[in-house]
Chains A and B, each alone.
Chain A
Amino acid sequence: MALTPEQVAHVAALARLELSPDEAALYRAQLSAVLDAASLLDEVDVSGVQPTRGDAPVPPLRPDVERPSLSPEQVLGNAPAKVGTTFSVPKILE
């Protein structure tokens, strides 16, 4: 399946990626090739087949008791920008 430049731009926007024109062209070709290869699945008859779900045994519930959590200092320890005990982001409302 050959992706159009518009589809590549749409997917990049959904993925919150900024692609250079060269990157967009490269990924368009490479993703089209991978999707072509994936079209092999078209020949598989999956009628009546359930999709795989997580198959580990269901875990028992743990007791609902208070436990210590990370301190605000630990949670914010890797924040690139913070104000007091909050993460800082650019203004989203004018």
Chain B
Amino acid sequence: MVLDLTLAEAAGQLGAGATSSTELTRVALQRVEALNGRLNAFLRVDAAGALEAAAQSDARRGRGEARGPLDGVPLGIKDNLLTGGLETTAGSRILQGFVPPVDATAVRKLREAGAVLLGKLNLDEFAMGSSNESSAYGPARNPWDTTRTPGGSSGGSAAAVAARLCFGALGSDTGGSIRQPAALTGTVGLKPTWGRVSRFGLVAYASSLDQVGPMARTVTDCALLLQALAGPDAQDATAADLAVPDYTAALERGAAGLRVGVPAEYFGPGMDPEVEAAVRGALRAYEQLGATLVEVSLPHTKYALATYYLLATAEASSNLARFDGVRFGHRARDVKGLRELYARSRSEGFGPEVKRRIMLGTFALSAGHYDAYYLKAQKVRTLIRRDFEAAFRQVDVVLSPTSPVPAFPLGQQTDPLQSYLLDVFTLPCNLAGLPGLSLPCGFTRARLPVGMQLVGRWWDEAGLLAAARAYERAHDFSRAAPPLEA
């Protein structure tokens, strides 16, 4: 099946004239049509727009004007990234019917690279969740076992890539929302350094933590996608004005001499034994590839969860104040005044997890509590960052599990505090602003994927990708396909 090709291979076939963008897009749309009822990965499919973009790509290529490796390749977009002219809901009822007038910068850059955008992918409401179950449109399902979660919040992106509905996808990651679903679906997900990719047009959850990034089936594919996404943006003052290196140039340099940090704090109790075994196997694999394992300590790790949930919810309570029933989104009917319009529109439009986080964040910022909660958490955040600064004086990457557990059954998470614990390994990376990547490192006996997380130095996505690629070259899980018959 042509959709079993990796993104890089599909690009190669397009370049060689062995297939066309129209052919790839037709096959992808057919597979979405056949499987999406079971997976609920796509919330919206733009077949006409995709076929039009494919025809334009083929015409460009025919004129000898192909733009690069993404030209003509079908991709999916997480539905919290604005797509001009195509409904964008962020998984929320409050944005049902919202048609953005502009593209997010990340989306615009993919279009400019010639990519074919198939449609919009499911997510937890406003990217708040780790199982996709807070989506107002029902959860996406894991292609490896459709009774289980694909993870969250970029669960639709992960499910679509794993099920070969598209060659790659955009996700966003505030506390692990790219890496955890990548781990649970056997795909590769990269959260770049905060500031590496523009957030313009990303529906904001927690602005000091949010970052847009690629998800695909291989490390190389993520490198190709990041190449198109990275760089400064006049629309986002926090998108860093730094040179963007060639992410594929050093990709094959191997692991010889690589110093891999192993943080004791990430290998404690509470981890699924099969996950731990797979990740410890990956550590041995790195040694065999010539890397050195170095024990490192990140002593403030145990405070990351509390720090994150105070800061992320505080920022969310502020960001989501814009949903007021006036300029866009759901508006309550038959209200008596402006205050009732705000309160009723918001209460009808937001789901329970979003309300819970707005409530917590509002409390953390409210008079009399700001110093004890928000300011304290911002100080602890500095200590978490210093832990990594110290670690990166000794090592090049830090390796850990991505998620303490493999994909769990849908409907199992009922206690918010318990479900927040699922993000325990991914949150510190966001708090420190570091780039992090999840890649597959094995399966459980029940044939569920296990992922490991590599965290790299600030702005060193090139080194992070090369470290991941070294493992992937020796232990390639990207050919393993989930048991779905189209």
Chain A residues engaging chain B, CB cutoff 8 angstroms: 3, 7-8, 10-12, 14-19, 23, 27, 30-31, 33-35, 37-38, 40-41, 44, 46, 49-52, 54-57, 59-60, 62, 70, 74-75, 77-81, 87, 89-92
Size range of the chain B interface in the assembly: 35 or more
Question: Which residues of B are found within 8 Å of A44, using beta-carbon distances?
Answer: 300, 303, 376, 379-380, 383
Measured CA separation A19–B417 after assembly (Å): 21
Residues of chain B at the chain A interface (Cβ within 8 Å): 97-99, 101-102, 194-195, 208, 232, 234, 237-242, 300, 302-303, 305-307, 309-310, 317, 321, 324-331, 335-344, 346-347, 350, 352, 355-356, 358-360, 362-363, 366, 373, 375-383, 385, 416-417, 420, 431, 433
CB distance from B80 to the nearest CB of A (A): 16
Determine whether the beta carbon of B416 is less than 8 Å from that of A80. no
Give every chain B residue within 8 A of A14 (Cβ-Cβ). 362, 366
Measured between beta carbons, the chain A residues less than 8 angstroms from B300 are 44
Interface contact A80-B343, CB-CB below 8 Å: no
Q: Do most interface residues of chain A lie in helix, strand or loop, or is the interface mixed?
A: loop
Known: A16-B324, A51-B378, A89-B338. A27 touches B355 (CB 8 A): yes
Residue numbers in B under 8 Å from A79 (CB-CB) = 326-328
Do residues A41 and B305 form an inter-chain contact, with CB atoms below 8 A? no
Residues from chain A with Cβ under 8 Å of B337 in the complex = 90-92
**Complex Cα–Cα for A74 and B324 (A):** 19
Query: Contacts A40-B303, A41-B377 known; A18 to B310 CB distance under 8 Å?
Result: no
Q: Give every chain B residue within 8 A of A46 (Cβ-Cβ).
A: 376, 379-380, 382-383
List the B residue with the shortest CB-CB distance to A40. B306
Q: Are B242 and A57 in contact (CB-based, < 8 A)?
A: yes
Q: Which of A15, A55, A70, A78 contacts B362 (CB 8 A)?
A: A15
Distance (Å) between the CB of B68 and the closest chain A CB? 26
Give the residue among B324, B335, B381 with the most A Cβ atoms within 10 A: B381
Residue contact A40 to B302, C-beta cutoff 8 Å: yes
Docked-complex contact B238 and A54, CB < 8 angstroms: yes
Contact of B326 (CB < 8 Å), options: A30, A34, A62, A89:
A89
Q: Tell me how far the C-beta of A84 lies from the nearest C-beta in chain B, rounded to whole angstroms.
A: 15
Contact A50 B379 (CB under 8 A): yes
Q: How far is the CA of A19 from the CA of B348 in the complex (A)?
A: 10
Which of B326, B338, B339: most chain A Cβ within 10 A?
A: B326
Considering the complex, give the chain A residue whose CB is closest to the CB of B363: A11
Known contacts A30-B356, A59-B241; 15 further A-B pairs (Cβ under 8 A): A14-B366, A17-B343, A17-B350, A17-B358, A18-B346, A19-B347, A19-B355, A27-B356, A30-B416, A46-B383, A52-B381, A52-B385, A54-B208, A55-B195, A78-B97
Whether A70 contacts B310 by the Cβ 8 Å rule is: no
- In the assembly, what is the distance between CA of A35 and CA of B309, in Å? 10
Q: Which residues of chain A are near B232, meaning CB under 8 Å?
A: 59
Q: A18-B347, A89-B341 are in contact. Are A80 and B325 (CB under 8 A)?
A: yes
A38 touching B306 in the complex, CB below 8 Å, given contacts A52-B378, A54-B238: yes
A11–B380 CB distance below 8 A: no
Query: B346 to A78, Cβ gap below 8 A?
Result: no
Kindly list the 6 A-B residue pairs having the minimum CB-CB distance in the complex, ordered from nearest: A51-B378, A56-B195, A80-B331, A78-B328, A46-B379, A74-B101
Instruction: From the candidates B327, B341, B433, name the one contacting A55 in the complex (CB within 8 A).
Output: B433
A17 and B336 contacting across the interface, CB-CB below 8 Å: no
Q: Are A31 and B343 in contact (CB under 8 A)?
A: no
Please give the distance in Å from B312's CB to the nearest CB on chain A: 12
Give the most central of A31, A55, A77: most B CB within 10 Å: A55
Indicate if the CB atoms of B194 and A56 lie closer than 8 Å.
yes
Let me know if A78 and B102 touch, CB within 8 A: no
CA distance A7 to B74 in the complex (A): 50
- The answer to whether A16 touches B98, judged by C-beta atoms less than 8 angstroms apart, is no
The answer on a CB contact under 8 Å between A17 and B346 is: yes
CB–CB B331/A75 < 8 A: no
CA distance A17 to B321 in the complex (A): 11
Which residue of B has the minimal Cβ distance to A79?
Answer: B327
Task: Find out whether the CB atom of A17 lies under 8 angstroms from the CB atom of B377.
Answer: no
Whether A16 lies near B101 (C-beta < 8 A) is no
Contact between chains at A56 and B382 (CB < 8 Å): no
CB distance from A50 to the nearest CB of B (A): 6
A90 in contact with B338 (CB, 8 Å): yes
